[in-house]
Homo-oligomer: A and B are copies of this chain.
């Protein structure tokens, strides 16, 4: 039951291998009728050219490797979805590999990609440590980084405008009258954390609020870490009335913790996230957050990668801007509300 080769088709069509090869790729070099005949025969026989054999001679695999820390992260999953869509649309297949941020695993992944001769690589939100350096030096395939966590001049990248997004988020809080605004970051030491913090500080400054280091605490980018972080914030003598979270997962954790402590969102505590995960709109209350166009970013990354593969020019870094999505997790702080209520009754 061996799968048939080009020779089999050639034989039944009574032509040479080359003609079949050409016919199947619709080469103009082959006579219309012969071509049609050959294609019909191939189709009927269910012939499928061997990608391996083909790429052996063309030196192109039409394959891209995608490294993610973990596909279980909804942010990553969406990005990968966009990557796959864009790749598929251009006839490329994607190898997906979890690195789980384990150096050993990263090594194996890179080696595997090398052996498979992927035409290009996309690395998603990696701390890009050991992995990246070794990769760049050995492989000569194009690489694009998506929301990478380290500056890297050597590779192309697409990234979210962290600073702008967090500025908008913090400003939103300030514009509702919050003066004590906390920031729950990610202790991973990521560049995105630093940038979001900086946007937060900038917004504070713009609103004339003095920056208080006690108001910035770190979680781990996931609900659990954020719960603890929020705890720290809440134990402050002068606790914040609004908190900007590094990402929606952190906001989810904060929301959960607040609920546990009997605090209502947003009446007792306003919350803003970052990402706009699919679920965020269904939270109670729906989360106000900064939207990252995740699948779009995946698509962009793929497009610049494909461009690079085709040796076409591509922008070294494309920055995409987040959009503040206002929902219901922010309102004026209690004090301000009390004040305006007083004003109202007085008036």
Contact = CB atoms under 8 A, between A and B. Distances in A.
- Considering residues A71, A255, A278, A283, which has the most beta carbons from chain B within 10 angstroms of its beta carbon? A71
- The DSSP consensus for interface residues of chain A is helix
Interface string A66-87: 1000111010011011001100
A307 interface: no
A344 interface: no
Contacts of A109: 88
Contact of A71 (B77, B88, B114): B77
Interface string A98-110: 1000000100110
A259 interface: yes
A78 B48 CA distance: 32
A16 interface: no
A286 B71 CA distance: 24
A49 interface: yes
Interface string A282-311: 111110000000010000000000000000
A25 to B, nearest CB: 13
A347 interface: no
Contacts of A153: none
A150 to B, nearest CB: 23
Contacts of A46: 138
A50 B51 CA distance: 13
A105 B88 contact: yes
A72 B279 CA distance: 11
Interface residues of A, number: 55
A286 B284 CA distance: 12
Contacts of A96: 66, 80, 84, 94-96
A146 interface: no
A88 B81 contact: no
Interface stretch (A53-61, A120-128, A187-195): A53-61
Nearest to A50: B117
Nearest to A222: B278
Contacts of A55: 52
A37 to B, nearest CB: 21
A273 interface: no
Contact of A284 (B94, B105, B259): B259
Given A97-B84, A279-B252, A48 B115 contact: yes
Given A88-B105, A252-B282, A49 B138 contact: no
Given A88-B97, A95-B96, A256-B286, 7 more contacts: A52-B56, A72-B77, A84-B96, A84-B98, A88-B109, A93-B95, A93-B116
23 contacts: A1-B140, A3-B117, A48-B111, A49-B115, A50-B56, A52-B55, A52-B61, A52-B116, A53-B56, A56-B56, A71-B77, A71-B81, A72-B278, A77-B77, A84-B98, A93-B116, A94-B97, A95-B95, A223-B282, A252-B282, A255-B284, A256-B284, A284-B284
